[in-house]
Structure 1
Amino acid sequence: MKHILNLLVIALFSTTVLGQDFKTDFDKYYQEGDIVKQLEILTSWENQDPKNPELFTSYFNYYFLKSKQEILSISTEQPKGESLSLQDSTGKTAGFIGSSIYFNPETFNKGIAKIDEGIKLYPNRLDMRFGKIYALGQAKNWQGFTNEIVKTIQYSSENDNQWTWTNNEKKENGKDFFLTSLQDYQLNLYNTGNDDLLVNMRTIAQEILKYYPKHVESLSNLSITYLLTGEYDKGIEPLLKAEKIDPEDVIVLGNIAQGYKLKGDKETAIEYYEKVIRYGNERSIAYAKQQIQELKK
């Protein structure tokens, strides 16, 4: 019996070391952008250790890199991001050369399929879930991005935020890390400047609040989705809940003041700017005083 156990330990150790070697080799070629060598490593790795969690993340990275393409375009208007200006014979700007990122759908979806396999086998691997969310955001598939975040929020209540990361290492302070990361994804949506995506922000905020009702950042995010569409009462309501949770949160107090200002309730707006002065730092105090002066004109 002892001999059998020793054999099992040796086999398990060999598999682990083998997986680490494949991962090291893959990472080397990934950094070099050599997709031919990457595929060679992945094929050998899959033949020898088909359920290794790092195999799924590596396959995902391979397909993501392979699917990413840069397209050059010429236009008379300056595109967003970096561009090169073209000049005519008189030295005047005649146009611009810009570039945009495109993801080949077929190749991209192969990567999504691989990471989905990994998530199914290792549902606590938060790096897999976040990797998928990141890729969907890069591809500007905002509905898929939102849906995957919602799924992950729902699962966080099942595993009590007992997340793991690369090499199945436990993620310390799982809940705080998880919620902070979700805030970053909310900012991704907000920073697009696309008002149509406020609904996506709202969906995410509402889902978080189902499981984490005292999450002040999500109450603030929910508020923003209403304030920006002129629904001031709906926007102020979650902020008042946030104030009860943390009465000295200067950002919340400032947003409440702004909400009442937009609504046309100058008196209450001033009341909340005075609270900002009471609890804020030098910068927020100066801003609140400026706002009060304008409201009193």
Structure 2
Amino acid sequence: MNTITKIALTALMLWGVAFGQTIYDQFNKAIQNDDTAQMTTLIRQIQASDDVSPDRYIAEFNYYFHISDRSEGPINMSVELPDDEGITIWYTLKDSTGAVSGYIYGIERYDRPTADSGLTAINKGIERYPDRLDMRFGKIHVLGKLKDWQGYTDEILQVIERTKVNNKQWVFPDNTEPADTILIYSILEYEKDLFDQCKLKEESKMQDAVLLGYMRDIATHMLELYPKDIFSMNIMAVTYNAAGNLNNALIWLKKAEKVAPKDVIVLSNLADTYYNLQDYANEKKYLKKIVKYGDPQSKAYAKRLLNQKR
């Protein structure tokens, strides 16, 4: 997992130096130890205080999200790959031949009303401190855990819109990465999370269309902010490819190629799209470009494809 992803996923655990640093240290430790009684005692003290620092809102947010967790650990087993929402695969079982023989999995669940209390707290924090990117990323992370993909998307769009207002001057404590870097790579990860929810099956076509639409909305807004963002151009292409609209995918990949003509991901997506269009001459053209510009692994893969008969 890269540094940016870690930053996005650990945003819930950031603490500052306001009202009684010790109490926030104690609260943080209680969460890490899963000590609900101590957490409850401390959060009541925090809520009874007149502290309105970012730490207060983050602590309340963490508390309610933590106690909303109703997840089950790796206690279930199935021969078939589970396809239910909220499933987390813990172990893949294999037989003596190396073939997959089953799965051990857990189920991720949250009590929505309790989690909503946390969202209410972080919304108050965001209203008071609109440029705290850690708060916003924490909220997005929780909305993803709750499978609230519309709310998830709406919050991402609010982050992008706020970036236009604050001229990319975000506050992100304990972080040394440039704000632009954090924003672009984190939103790319959020786009991937949305795509991972797509099952790309006939029976899920309507649900997939909604998720792919969310991805396009995010990518469109990112391109307004960063017109040469090839990540968002690639995302646009991926959504059209997934929907079977290969010609629209090509339009976006060609735009990305103009910005980054040697980018291997763009070139690979172009080769794949031409293959799916059965335009093998153009597929070959882009495979040759991968051989020319790619890393050793990409070059080897492209060479294997070039040696196959079409």
Matched positions, count? 271
Paired residue for 2:23?
A: 22
Establish whether residue 112 from structure 1 lines up as the match of residue 113 from structure 2.
no
Task: Indicate conservation of the 8 Å contact 1:219/1:242, yes or no.
Answer: yes
CA distance in 2, matches of 1:19, 1:178: 31
For residues 3-60 of structure 1, what are the alpha-carbon distances to aligned partners after superposition, in whole Å with 9 as ceiling and x for unaligned? xxxxxxxxxxxxx563312211111211121223222222222333331111100100
Paired residue for 1:3?
A: none
CA distance in 2, matches of 1:258, 1:185: 24
Paired residue for 1:174?
A: 179
TM alignment of 1:69-88, pairs within 5 A: 69-71=70-72, 79=82, 81-82=89-90
TM-superposed deviation, 1:285:
1.4
TM-superposed deviation, 1:104:
0.7
CA distance in 2, matches of 1:289, 1:101: 42
Establish whether residue 287 from structure 1 lines up as the match of residue 301 from structure 2.
yes
CA distance in 2, matches of 1:97, 1:223: 35
TM alignment of 1:38-57, pairs within 5 A: 38-57=39-58
Highest Rg: 1 or 2?
A: 1
TM-superposed deviation, 1:77:
5.6
Q: Which ranges of structure 2 fall in alignment gaps of 5 or more residues?
A: 1-16, 94-101, 201-207
Task: Indicate conservation of the 8 Å contact 2:18/2:55, yes or no.
Answer: no
Task: Indicate conservation of the 8 Å contact 1:69/1:103, yes or no.
Answer: yes
Task: Indicate conservation of the 8 Å contact 2:119/2:139, yes or no.
Answer: yes
**Taking structure 1 as reference, are residues 19 and 239 closer, same or farther at Cα in structure 2, changes over 3 Å only?**
farther
**Taking structure 1 as reference, are residues 289 and 152 closer, same or farther at Cα in structure 2, changes over 3 Å only?**
same
TM alignment of 1:139-288, pairs within 5 A: 139-166=146-173, 172-195=177-200, 196=208, 197-288=211-302
Matched letter for residue 199 of structure 2: N
Task: Indicate conservation of the 8 Å contact 1:276/1:284, yes or no.
Answer: yes
Q: Which runs of 4+ in 1 moved over 3 A?
A: 16-19, 71-80, 82-85, 95-99, 169-172
The normalised TM-score by structure 1 is 0.83
For residues 94-142 of structure 1, what are the alpha-carbon distances to aligned partners after superposition, in whole Å with 9 as ceiling and x for unaligned? x998541211111010000000000000011111000010011111111
Paired residue for 1:92?
A: none
Paired residue for 1:91?
A: none
SS in 1 for 2:258: helix
Task: Indicate conservation of the 8 Å contact 2:54/2:125, yes or no.
Answer: yes
Q: Which ranges of structure 1 fall in alignment gaps of 5 or more residues?
A: 1-15, 86-94
Deviates more, 1:139-148 or 1:121-130: 139-148
Higher relative contact order (CA 8 A, sep 6+): 2
| Aligned residue among 138, 154, 170 for 2:145 | 138
SS in 2 for 1:102: coil
For residues 165-200 of structure 1, what are the alpha-carbon distances to aligned partners after superposition, in whole Å with 9 as ceiling and x for unaligned? 24xx67641011111111111121222343412222
Deviates more, 1:194-203 or 1:261-270: 194-203
Aligned-residue sequence identity (percent) comes to 33
Deviates more, 1:131-140 or 1:283-292: 283-292
For residues 244-296 of structure 1, what are the alpha-carbon distances to aligned partners after superposition, in whole Å with 9 as ceiling and x for unaligned? 111111111111111111112111221111111111122111222222233x5
Q: Which structure carries more helix by proportion?
A: 1
SS in 1 for 2:24: helix
CA distance in 2, matches of 1:172, 1:254: 29
CA distance in 2, matches of 1:224, 1:203: 13
CA RMSD of aligned residues (A): 2.6
Task: Indicate conservation of the 8 Å contact 2:19/2:51, yes or no.
Answer: no
Matched letter for residue 115 of structure 1: I
Paired residue for 2:14?
A: none
